[in-house]
Chains A and B, each alone.
Chain A
């Protein structure tokens, strides 16, 4: 009886030991696969972060190109319209990657001159953008201008779909020292810093092109 019990328990022990060995080897395989998957994930994550950085650099280059392209070319029109959506998707991807994109917060006012004022508060822009590019992105490309390569400046003729006319022109303003100051040389000359407030107003003007209104 004792011998039979020993045989049965020994056989069971051998069977279970065999199953244990099989499970252990499967576990090791799973661990190896998990390690491989983790390495792939880390590599993918690194590539994603690298892609995000490249995306940021591409946006910088694209915004620089937009700032220096003749505004009548199809390339300018396409790029100026695409820039806003690219900037938005870049910010979303940066958030997904768990890190915050380096952005400046700005406030933009558009005064259409007929009592309609649109504020774009705490909107994010990329560091290095000038007043023109920032406006172009925040208004989703809804800006018309003539490009003066000899001055490196745009003369803005329409903002948010409202064209200038024979009596009123678009003026660009920068808030500083408690006052709104009209930009003497256009929006391209103003590098927008964090917390900057800028404005566009459709104003009449005197013979010396001094604006008759302010934001």
Chain B
């Protein structure tokens, strides 16, 4: 290594350091890639399993994006959210989402951000997590509410662009259809946040430790 570096000027040395900086973190993140792939596969599989009309707008997607960000950080959570929502936008049996896909993906980033924020507040201590289950559920329900508002606003934008008015915006965001779907979404996210999210946060690190 010394011979290789001998005679090189500082600019070349800086370039080599830059290359190393790019490659090294990539190699270190192999584990993260596996985690992202695992979460994404589980999300897409569960989305398909829950795609029937009896589970209308009930999905594990939000909970798992939240949990992945809580346990492994925002970047992992965001990657899980972006990948799984993008894949689902194309694979969904009810049809491709189309132009609204970026808005759906952006909404998932909210769950990743909430997961990071929750981990900063409550940390990884298991007892604290189980005691805060209701707060986790409430946090997920709030995120679901914001997601619904954001995507319904995007629907109005796409539907009525470029003549979108306030009446059309409000009418598209708040109507019997959106209320029914919002209730299912927020209610299921609250339930999953109370029951599944704390369980996953406790069990996943244990499972990973056992593997190691």
Residues of chain B within 8 A (CB-CB) of A68 are 94-96
User: Known: A67-B95, A189-B53. Contact between A72 and B158, CB under 8 A?
Assistant: yes
Task: From A64, A71, A185, give the contact of B177 (CB < 8 A).
Answer: A185
Among B41-49, B97-105, B121-129, the one that faces the other chain is B97-105
Task: From B159, B176, B179, give the contact of A147 (CB < 8 A).
Answer: B159
Cβ of A189 and Cβ of B56 under 8 Å apart? yes
User: Known: A70-B159, A72-B158, A72-B160. Contact between A148 and B99, CB under 8 A?
Assistant: no
Within 8 A of A (CB), among B153-188: 155-156, 158-161, 171-172, 175-181, 184
Residues of chain B within 8 A (CB-CB) of A189 are 53, 56
A68 to B96, CA, bound (A): 8
Task: From B56, B92, B104, B175, give the contact of A155 (CB < 8 A).
Answer: B175
Cβ of B179 and Cβ of A150 under 8 Å apart? no
Residues of chain B within 8 A (CB-CB) of A169 are 175-176
Task: From A64, A70, A152, A185, give the contact of B180 (CB < 8 A).
Answer: A185
Within 8 A of B (CB), among A145-161: 146-153, 155, 157
Interface readout for B110-141 with A: 1 if CB under 8 Å, 0 if not?
A: 00000000000000000000000000000000
Cβ of B94 and Cβ of A155 under 8 Å apart? no
User: Known: A72-B158, A151-B181, A153-B181. Contact between A171 and B94, CB under 8 A?
Assistant: no
Which chain A residue lies CB-closest to B182? A151
Let me know if A120 is at the binding interface, CB within 8 A: no
Which chain A residue lies CB-closest to B53? A189
Residues of chain B within 8 A (CB-CB) of A205 are 176
Let me know if A186 is at the binding interface, CB within 8 A: yes
Which chain A residue lies CB-closest to B94? A152
Q: Chain B nearest CB: distance from A14 CB in Å?
A: 81
A188 to B56, CA, bound (A): 11
Cβ of A148 and Cβ of B177 under 8 Å apart? yes
Residues of chain B within 8 A (CB-CB) of A67 are 95
Which chain B residue lies CB-closest to A209? B176
A71 to B156, CA, bound (A): 11
Chain B interface residue number, banded: 20 to 34
Residues of chain A within 8 A (CB-CB) of B98 are 70, 149
Residues of chain A within 8 A (CB-CB) of B156 are 146
Let me know if B199 is at the binding interface, CB within 8 A: no
Cβ of B160 and Cβ of A151 under 8 Å apart? no
Residues of chain A within 8 A (CB-CB) of B155 are 146-150
Q: Chain A nearest CB: distance from B58 CB in Å?
A: 11
Let me know if A116 is at the binding interface, CB within 8 A: no
Task: From A151, A155, A209, give the contact of B172 (CB < 8 A).
Answer: A155
Let me know if A114 is at the binding interface, CB within 8 A: no
Cβ of B100 and Cβ of A155 under 8 Å apart? no
User: Known: A68-B96, A72-B158, A185-B181. Contact between A146 and B151, CB under 8 A?
Assistant: no
User: Known: A72-B160, A155-B178. Contact between A149 and B53, CB under 8 A?
Assistant: no
Let me know if A212 is at the binding interface, CB within 8 A: no
Interface CB pairs A-B, < 8 A, 14: A70-B98, A72-B159, A72-B160, A146-B159, A148-B155, A150-B151, A151-B177, A152-B94, A153-B177, A169-B175, A185-B53, A185-B180, A186-B177, A205-B176
Question: Which A residues fall within an 8 A CB radius of B?
Answer: 64, 67-68, 70-72, 146-153, 155, 157, 169, 171, 184-186, 188-189, 205, 208-209
